[in-house]
A and B are shown apart, each in its own frame.
Chain A
Amino acid sequence: MSNFDYIRAADFDRAWLNFELDLPLEPGKDGKPNPFYIRRPGDPIGELNDALLAPFYKAPKFFFSGHRGCGKSTELLHLMGNPNIRKNYWPVNFSIRDEADIIDLDFRDILLAIGGRMFREYRRQGGVLPARLLKDLDGFRGRVEEEITTVKAGRVADTEIGAGLDAFFANASLKIKLEPKTRSIIRQVIERDVTGLIDVINAISAAVKLKEGRLPLILIDDLDKPNLQEAKAIFQERREIMMQPTCAIVYTVSSALFYSKDFDSIRDRALFLPNVKLHTHNFPDQYTREGYETMQRFVSLRMDPGLIEDQALIEAITYSGGVFREMARIMRTAIGRARRRKGAQVESVDVEWAATEIRNEYRRILDKEDLDILKKIHEKNRLEYNDRIRPLLQLLALLEYRNGENWCDIHPVLRKLLYE
């Protein structure tokens, strides 16, 4: 997406593109924020920014959470582009999806991904690592390859150790991601010498710091995707190991893990990215101006405001529930309809159409019990985090907000569904 032109749409076709759900907002090369990036009310990411920039004795590790579609990936990219961060850190941002299989994820996969990605990224940027480190790494590679012939990168000359290691890490990552059998063997090999892998990571980290004068900062996106059980196995049962790398790391974690009791002890190292609040707690008709303005800005940066009626925009914002992805979805669907009917502007009817379509999608996946729970929550806006509510939060049928006390409400498109 590096060649994507982040320009404001003047017609529906372009607007359709700009409201792409998976549009990554990469920062500009000059460190400027992405043109579509908007600051959130309260600047919650500033908290993480400050924490990273604070003096530290041990390389900091943070946990970054938030509900689906709230903009975590965008904020990580934005964080990476922050000049102050870049000044103090050598940042590497990647999605664990690219390195491992997130439906069968293990702490060893993540550690290997951290080491491999850091190594490859540094070499990709033209960095040169000390020969001794390369030899050490090659020894590690040899130990792995002894047991797993399929990850062999091919015979390499001594002078090509670096390239061979590149291939090895890339290959191991690919195998871990796509081949369950090899994944299992690699994990066994690592299990026998987890410390050895930590040493590899730390050696690469130390070498980068020495060369660049900045500590590597690893921002790992999509670690919130594994299920709660797997997440607990990684971040609770293996927490100490996950804290051992000497580079700074921001792990994304799911809201389910964030709210689990076992997470209490490290909650001070965690930041939760809230949805944009559109109304006050218990008063759904009392709109929050700041929230509406934020969402309005989200739209106006991507599309000429003249392409949507004011009232339609307000309705779209209301239906979004303050979730950026949902806002993009509603806008895109409404734009599609306005485009098909050859309208000049997105009108209320288009927005209503989009809301109905989303409502129908939920109608299919929510059962009566879900609807009963949602009804209760909608009446009291009280968040009681439990197993029954978790999937509803995951499906965004339930949206969580924070202003002082945490509270929640249903996805606004569902209101009609509850009272049919």
Chain B
Amino acid sequence: MNDDACMEICQSPDTFEDKLVCICHELELALKWHRPSFLFAIYDTDSFRQFAQDSLEALIDQSNQKVVHYQVDSERQIELFKFINDLAENKSDVFFIQSSNTIENNIQTTNLISMLNSCRGFLVDNLVRVVFWLTENEALKVAHLAPDFWASRHRVFEFIDVQTANYATIINRGDLNPKVAEDQSVSAALSLSDADMQVESPLVIDFSEDEPTFSGINLLLMLGVANWKEGQQEKAIEPLQAALALAQKSGNKSHQVLCHKAIALVHSESGKTDEAIQAYQQVIDIGPESITIWNNLGQLYLKATKYDEALQAFKNAIKLNPNDPISWNGLGNIYSGIGNLDEAINCYRKAIQFNAGYISPWIQLADVLAKQARFDDALYAYMRIVEMDKKNVHAWSEIGSIYFKARSFEQSVGAYKKALILGDSSPDIHKNLAYAHTQSGDYAEATAHLLKAIEMENDENEKAALSNMLGDVYRRIGDYDNAVAAYEAADSHASIISESDKPLSTQAEDLHDVSPDDKEEFQEQASATSSVALDENHGMQVMVDSENVQQIFPVSQPLESLGNKQISAETTELENVQANLENANLLIRLANIYIKVGAVDKAVGALEKAVVLDPANGKIYYQLGILFSQKNELPKAILFYKSSADLLPNEIDKANALNLTGDLYRKLKDFSNALGAYEAAVGLDPDNETIINNLGKIQEDLDQLIAGGVIETKDQPVSEKSFFEKSPDNAAVSVVATPISSGNVGEVDPSIKIDLSNPDVWNELGNIYAKSKAYEEAVEAYQKAISLNPEFGWSYSNLALVYTFQGKHDEAIGLLEKSVGLQWTDKDKAVVWNRLGDLLRKVGQYPKAIVAYQNADKLNQYKISINNLHEIDIQLLFSHFIS
């Protein structure tokens, strides 16, 4: 043979079948001559390894030899040689040894490899015939850690050959996620051409329908997968069915299983989930049961949203191997899918327990924990992910987000940059970097990233928001020219949206020339400028502290300063509002108005409606507890407190609810339950002196009772407070509910009327109307507030915002100018100047806008957040971008 021919042959690798046949020959010769055989099979994916093992095992079975599988794990590793020695009696056994690919087992694998170096003679003496299934990394380790053993290798076979292997890789891969198939590397690896099919191969030579052979079946399988790769699913099924027919004819169950698997895969990828499920059922019918099949079935059922079946499939897999991490991960995905996040977390943790190196459950776990706002735990999980996979962009990005939320902006920037370097090419990463840089005061970097984000962003809406933010950043550094240019760009993007997306609806808010951002802003600002007792953001993690919120949103005249007036007036207006409200948060706000004026029954009515709309909100139950306590309906109050203790997210609040429960039990002279409630409260908040004192007192009471004394509880105060007096994250909003003591419980007149001569009430009502987009009613309410108190600056400002939405820009400008003069503090004035600047900008009066902004910035000497860069906006934008 000439050199060219040699080169040609040596450049074309063995076919998959060649390799299997070659391994068989090696093993047969070793058996014949009573010699050991150390073969290394190097693989790149578990699925292909599985396929190669199955195929090889089928061949070995045909020659009446037995394959003994040995998986290296932490428990059995030490006993490997004893294990081999025990079985070495049967010289026809062939050992397949592999590791289970976990972090721990990687260590065990390393240990095993080191041991192999010293125990090579042991294997030789026992004439062991073994195939070591090694990952590429493990093969490298063998060469370097066990050079003697490496030198003793008889043959090395690579099972990563793309031409012959990829159909099997796909057939056998455990993950049916379509993304895998879409992955370019896999697609590229599937480049089976017609020429490939024509290469002289044992497949072609042996193929005959009359005489089914392993190679013939494989050829048909390969053809099927090649067709499938080209998107010809129907054409793919035909050869696969033919392969199946051949396999059935041959009676070889391994081949039948392989064919069914391939068919299942093609069906799965072509969206025929039911057919894929059916094919996998066939595999299960042929048996033996396999964890992989159950896992695949579970995934298919999950895809078909057949949660019960999916659950059963994964449970079957777990039954076969309770330590299978893939099954636990699948189970976790089901629970996550149906919203049972706690159970999902348990499953992911199980998956991790059994394979700490399996990254998928770590990612799911981290995401679920982040979703639950358990940021510390989520951060830990993300950190583990980047330990395992330093290039995991998602994890780095999430780490950045968590640090951002924790206000660790430098670390946040570091993590985001890592994600950026690693290839996160989305505009979001630049946005997030811009936010983080802004917060850490690095405006130059923030500007650069904003410019990049604007360049990359396709959504005009986003472009407008980003340009707006860019303008704000320029303002921060006093670059008003660029700021105006950015604002102009923002307005230009906004106008594109309004032009292109203008709905045909005649609803008032849609007819105005305002961007959605402005609406959002209005809603946030309007709500913040009001006094509310209940937190509207109970469902989201509010990161800003009370001081910041105070800075951002000037609170209107505190209502509690008005005293607990017994107001008498018609409430029809509010009742109408209530009837039309379908938002729990707004109902809570409405209840607060009622509470402020002592209209307890009406507050209860609003809150009861809120409970129906948001039954998982513990704070509503808590407030209801307070109200029923006020109404002296103590058993009801206890029930609500208990519910709130169950539903409230943090332990301090739970303790508070339980403490109040204890107070009420005590009032009812149910000392035993009171003791239980106080004990539970102390358990949750062991440093709370009030609760400790209460616990001490109830114990004294009990002692007194046991001693035959009489307990006087009439004058014992009930330690009730509005929930928000305690809750630090809600301290920003003023406390409205009157602190209740046992002395005033029951003193409230249920038929109490609201005094609509209180301008605060009207201002608050205006906010509720505005937020529910009832702008006309809002205008009336604000006007009423102004008429009652012409010096009420915030009502002018809020009315201006509503006018803005109504397109009455001139009126709005006048109102804001008026409002500025009525504000008492520089901070408040700065906020109004800022609003005025925004409005002037909106109407294209840029020079005036600059002056307004400059006034705002001048007054805002502490650089508090008054514009679009303020904290809450960032939180909102942030949440939006990262969600």
- Residues of A bordering B, CB below 8 Å: 13, 16-17, 20-22, 68-69, 95, 97-98, 101-103, 225, 325, 332-333, 336, 339-340, 347-349, 352-353, 355-357, 360-361, 364-365, 391, 394-396
B177 at the interface (CB under 8 A from A): no
Which 4 residue pairs across A and B have the least CB separation, nearest first? A365-B143, A356-B10, A352-B6, A17-B33
Please determine whether A349 and B154 come into contact, CB atoms closer than 8 angstroms.
no
Q: A349 contacts B9, CB within 8 Å?
A: yes
- A102-B33 CB under 8 A given contacts A225-B148, A347-B1, A365-B139: no
* Complex A-B: 20 CB contacts under 8 Å: A13-B32, A16-B29, A17-B29, A20-B35, A22-B152, A97-B120, A103-B115, A103-B118, A225-B117, A225-B148, A325-B151, A336-B155, A348-B1, A352-B10, A357-B156, A360-B156, A364-B136, A365-B144, A391-B144, A396-B151
B86-142 contacts to A (CB < 8 Å): 114-115, 117-121, 124, 136, 139-140
Chain A contacts of B150 at CB under 8 A? 395
User: How many residues on the B side are at the interface (Cβ–Cβ under 8 A)?
Assistant: 39
CB neighbours of B124 from chain A (8 A)? 22
Given contacts A98-B121, A103-B117, A225-B148, 9 further A-B contacts (CB under 8 A): A13-B29, A17-B35, A22-B152, A68-B151, A357-B155, A360-B156, A364-B42, A364-B143, A395-B147
Beta-carbon contact of B147 and A394 below 8 Å: yes
A98: chain B residues at CB < 8 Å are 121
Do the beta carbons of B152 and A352 come within 8 Å of each other? no
List the A side residues contacting B456 at CB < 8 Å: none
B107 to chain A, nearest CB (A): 15
Bound form: Cα–Cα A153–B311 in Å: 57
Which chain B positions have C-beta within 8 A of A68?
147-148, 151
**Contact status of A361 and B156, CB under 8 A, knowing A102-B117, A325-B151, A352-B9:** yes
Question: Interface residues, chain B, CB within 8 Å of chain A?
Answer: 1, 5-7, 9-10, 21-22, 25-26, 29, 32-33, 35-36, 42, 114-115, 117-121, 124, 136, 139-140, 143-144, 147-148, 150-156, 158
Distance in Å from the Cβ of A230 to the closest Cβ of chain B? Answer: 12
**Chain B nearest CB, measured from A4 CB (Å):** 9
A3 to B140, CA, bound (A): 36
Please tell me if the beta carbons of B118 and A101 are within 8 angstroms of each other in the complex.
yes
Q: Shortest beta-carbon distance, B285 to chain A, in Å?
A: 37
Residues of B within 8 A of A101 (CB): 118
- Give bound CA distance, A38 to B698, whole Å: 100
Q: How far is the CB of A363 from chain B (nearest CB, A)?
A: 10
Cβ distance B536 to chain A, nearest Cβ, rounded Å: 59
- A residues near B10, Cβ cutoff 8 Å: 352-353, 355-356
Q: A21-B154, A22-B152, A396-B151 are in contact. Are A349 and B1 (CB under 8 A)?
A: yes
- List of B residues within 8 angstroms of A361 by Cβ: 153, 156
Minimal Cβ-Cβ distance residue in B for A396? B151
Contacts of A339 in B (CB 8 A): 25
* Contact residues in B for A102 (Cβ distance below 8 Å): 117-118
Contacts of A347 in B (CB 8 A): 1
Across the interface, B9 reaches (CB within 8 A) one of A16, A353, A360, namely A353
Rounded to whole angstroms, the CA-CA distance of A396 and B153 in the bound complex is 13
Give Cα A368 to B154, complex, Å.
Answer: 26
Chain A residues whose CB sits within 8 angstroms of the CB of B139 once the complex forms? 364-365
Interface majority SS (helix, strand, loop, mixed), chain A = helix
Separation of A340 and B32 alpha carbons in the complex (Å): 16
Let me know if A364 and B1 touch, CB within 8 A.
no
B22 touches A336 (CB 8 A): yes
Chain A residue contacts of B119, Cβ below 8 A: 97
Is B29 within 8 A of A21, CB to CB?
A: no
Q: Closest residue to B145 on the A side, CB-wise?
A: A103
Complex: A13 Cα to B144 Cα, angstroms: 32
Q: Which residues of B contact A396 (CB under 8 A)?
A: 151
B25–A349 touching, CB < 8 Å: no
How far is A68 from B150 in the complex, measured between Cα atoms in Å? 11
- The smallest beta-carbon distance between A340 and chain B, in angstroms, is 6
In the bound complex, residues from chain A placing their C-beta under 8 Å from that of B6 are 348-349, 352
Contact of B118 among A97, A348, A356 (CB under 8 A): A97
What are the residues of chain B within 8 A of A69 when measuring CB–CB? Answer: 151
Q: What residues of chain A lie closer than 8 Å to B21, measured between beta carbons?
A: 340
Question: How many whole Å from B852's CB to the nearest CB in chain A?
Answer: 62
Question: Chain A contacts of B42 at CB under 8 A?
Answer: 364
Task: Assess whether B143 is in contact with A225, with CB atoms less than 8 Å apart.
Answer: no
Contacts of A340 in B (CB 8 A): 21-22, 25
Which residues does chain A contribute within 8 Å of B151, judged by CB atoms?
Answer: 21, 68-69, 325, 396
Whether B117 and A332, one on each chain, are in contact in the complex, defined by CB atoms closer than 8 angstroms, is: no
User: Do the beta carbons of A395 and B143 come within 8 Å of each other?
Assistant: yes
Are the CB atoms of B5 and A349 closer together than 8 Å? yes
Determine the chain A residues whose CB is within 8 A of the CB of B155 once the complex forms: 333, 336, 357
Residue in contact with B36 in the complex, picked from A16, A22, A225, A360, CB distance below 8 Å = A22
CB closest residue in chain A, given B155: A333
Residue of A nearest to B26 (CB): A336
Report how far A365 CA is from B113 CA in the complex, Å: 15
| B152 surroundings in chain A (CB, below 8 A) | 21-22
- Alpha-carbon separation in the docked complex, A394 to B143 (Å): 9
Beyond A98-B121, A336-B26, whether A360 also contacts B140 by CB under 8 A is no
Nearest-neighbor residue (CB-CB) of A101 within chain B: B118
Residue on B with the closest CB to A325? Answer: B151
Chain A neighbourhood of B29, CB < 8 A: 13, 16-17, 336
CB neighbours (8 Å) of A16 from chain B are 29, 33
Bound Cα distance from A22 to B121, whole angstroms: 9
Closest to B6 in A: A352
Q: B114 — which chain A residues lie within 8 A by C-beta? A: 103
Query: Which residues of chain A are within 8 angstroms of B1 by Cβ–Cβ distance?
Result: 347-349
Closest to A3 in B: B34
Alpha-carbon separation in the docked complex, A188 to B10 (Å): 56
Give the shortest distance, in Å, between B44 (CB) and chain A (any CB): 11
Residue of A nearest to B8 (CB): A349
Chain A residue at smallest Cβ distance from B81: A178
Nearest residue, chain B, Cβ from A365: B143
Task: Please report the C-alpha to C-alpha distance between residue A395 and residue B150 in the assembled complex, in whole angstroms.
Answer: 8
Contacts of B26 in A (CB 8 A): 336
Q: Please report the C-alpha to C-alpha distance between residue A32 and residue B644 in the assembled complex, in whole angstroms.
A: 95
**CA separation between A376 and B435, bound complex, in Å?**
52
Q: A231 CB to closest chain B CB, in angstroms?
A: 14
The complex places the Cα of A226 from the Cα of B154 at a distance, in Å, of: 22
Of B114, B118, B124, most buried by chain A (CB within 10 Å of CB) is B118
Closest to B150 in A: A395
What residues on A are CB-neighbors of B143 within 8 Å?
364-365, 395
Which residue of B has the minimal Cβ distance to A333?
B155
**By CB atoms of chain A within 10 A, which of B9, B25, B143, B158 has the most?**
B143
Contacts of B36 in A (CB 8 A): 22
A352, B124: Cα distance in complex, Å: 28
Q: In the assembled complex, how far is the CB of residue A263 from the closest CB belonging to chain B, in whole angstroms? A: 20
Which residues of chain A come closer than 8 Å to B144, judged between CB atoms? 365, 391, 395
B10 CB to nearest A CB, Å: 4
**CA–CA, A394 to B149, complex, Å?**
12
- Give every chain B residue within 8 A of A336 (Cβ-Cβ): 22, 25-26, 29, 155
Q: How far apart are B871's CB and chain A's nearest CB, in angstroms?
A: 50
CA distance A264 to B786 in the complex (A): 102
Bound-state CA distance A97–B33 (Å) is 24
- A364–B155 alpha-carbon span in the complex (Å): 14
Shortest Cβ distance from residue A74 to the other chain B in the assembled complex, whole angstroms: 15
B209 → chain A, closest Cβ, in Å? Answer: 25
For the complex, what is the distance from the CA of A304 to the CA of B24, rounded to whole Å? 25
Which residues of A sit under 8 angstroms from B136, Cβ to Cβ? 364
**Which of chain A's residues has its CB closest to B12's CB?**
A356
Complex Cα–Cα for A340 and B153 (A): 20
A352 to B5, CA, bound (A): 10
What residues of chain B lie closer than 8 Å to A395, measured between beta carbons?
A: 143-144, 147, 150
> Which chain B positions have C-beta within 8 A of A325?
151
The CA-CA distance from A126 to B33 in the complex, in Å, is: 33
Contacts of B147 in A (CB 8 A): 68, 391, 394-395
A22 to B152 alpha-carbon distance, docked (Å)? 7
User: Given A17-B33, A22-B152, A349-B1 in contact, is the A360-B158 Cβ separation under 8 Å?
Assistant: yes
